[in-house]
Amino acid sequence: MEFKDELRKYTERLENIKDTLQTEEATKMSLIVPFFQLLGYDVFNPLEFCPEYTADIGIKKGEKVDYAILMGKDPVILIEAKSVNKKLDRHSSQLFRYFVSTPAKFAILTNGIEYKFYTDLDDTNKMDKEPFLDINLLNIKDAEISQLNKFKKQNLNISEIMDSASLLKYNSLFKNFIENQFKNPTDDFIKLFLQPVYKGAKTQSVIEKFRPIVEKALTDYINELLTDKIQAALNTTVTSSNVSALNIQTNEHWDILSEIKDVLKNTVDVNKISLKHTGSYTAVLYEKNVRKWICRISLSGTQKLLILPDINKNEIRMPISDISDLKNFSEQIIEVVQRYLHPVLLKEVLYTRWGNYEMPEPYKILLEKGPRKNLKKL
């Protein structure tokens, strides 16, 4: 089985069990250790995959990183694990301290779903503040699978990964910056466009006046790039009607994103809202995760539709006349996002002839006989 297929099978299992894991230890055993086993490491051999690796810092003794991948006796990769329900944004400082005190060249911060890969590009032996590779296994791209494949035991080549790490890091930072500016251009970004074409003072009122003009110019430019790509790919002439349709479609996508962001601006960070277009509809996603779709909008065909997921991800279809109708469904759209922000965890139930009880931990089997006096009866 190819690595891509093995990874897909693993992520399906991840999706099924992630909501049942409530602790860091459960995340380690159910998600993180099996992931490195998938990469080919002998996770039961402490000479290769060492748990609780000592990383003493100066006079501070007893500091331990969750796992270290060893070559000989030296660590080459440090792994710091967090619970699956923890965000990783504020936990890199701990790994930074461990990195400085060991000869490791790579460090990984993970919650079992997201994997952040660090090295020391900026300052030798000091872990960079920004990862050179950031992978979400539930929304992984083919290019990221290719990079992840380099970390398999049989492929691990430190110098080769270091050569590509710099390009990966800055390419990612530039793409994120460009994406954010296209979605929500800052005043400085607008000023950059005004500098060569507008000679007057760049006051706030002038910036706001030109903001929609700059946004439209960017959209039109993307349309032209897409048209050129289609021409090159098909090696044929794109008719004016095709170009017009492409422009209309791209503008519709822009309008959908703007409407949904306006609905959700007081509910969630709108930078986490994105679009994914298929042949039949446009999906609005939260955190770029296809499993966290907020709504789907179909504007093709005889009937225009807004499609919302219920709590079980079943589709609820509602007719709309145009994109402006989306605001009429603001409460329903906000309710969907609230479910992603505050997921309801389904509790395990223990069924006995003495009654039904709430399980203290998912999948924990209690073998004692008789009524469970220490459990909450339902």
Q: What is the pLDDT of residues 269-327, one digit of tens each?
A: 988 898 887 767 888 999 988 889 999 998 876 788 999 999 888 899 999 888 888 88
pLDDT at 366: 46
Mean pLDDT of the chain: 82
Q: Does the pLDDT of residue 77 top 60, yes or no? A: yes
One of 3.30.43.10, 3.90.1570.30, 3.30.930.10, 3.40.50.620 is the CATH number of 3-178, namely 3.90.1570.30
pLDDT band, residue 246 (cuts 50/70/90): very low
For the cut 90, the answer to whether the pLDDT of residue 30 exceeds it is yes
Q: What is the pLDDT of residues 161-170, one digit of tens each?
A: 888 888 888 8
Model pLDDT, residue 3: 86
Query: Of the ranges 80-89, 277-286, 351-360, which is most confident?
Result: 80-89
Q: Which residue ranges make up each domain of the chain? A: 3-178, 184-238, 252-341, 347-378
Mean pLDDT, residues 29-34 taken together: 95
Mean pLDDT of 168-181: 84
What is the pLDDT, as a whole number, of residue 324? 80
- Regarding predicted confidence, which is higher, 44 or 182? 44
Lowest mean pLDDT segment, chosen from 73-87, 109-123, 337-351: 337-351
Phi, psi of 345 (to 5 degrees): -85, 125
What percentage of the chain exceeds 70 in pLDDT?
A: 81
Q: Is the pTM of this model over 0.75?
A: no
198-213 tens-digit pLDDT: 888 989 999 998 888 8
Give the model's confidence band at 251: pLDDT under 50 very low, under 70 low, under 90 confident, else very high: low
Name the band, by pLDDT with cuts 50, 70 and 90, for residue 357: low
Confidence of residue 238 (pLDDT cuts 50, 70, 90): very low
Higher per-residue pLDDT: 333 or 142: 333
Q: Looking at the predicted structure, is the pLDDT value of residue 367 above 90? A: no
Whether the per-residue pLDDT at 243 is higher than 50: the answer is no
pLDDT band at residue 236 under the 50/70/90 scheme = very low
**What confidence category does residue 376 fall into, taking pLDDT thresholds of 50, 70 and 90?**
low
Q: Is the pLDDT of residue 378 over 60?
A: no
> 80 pLDDT exceeds 50?
yes
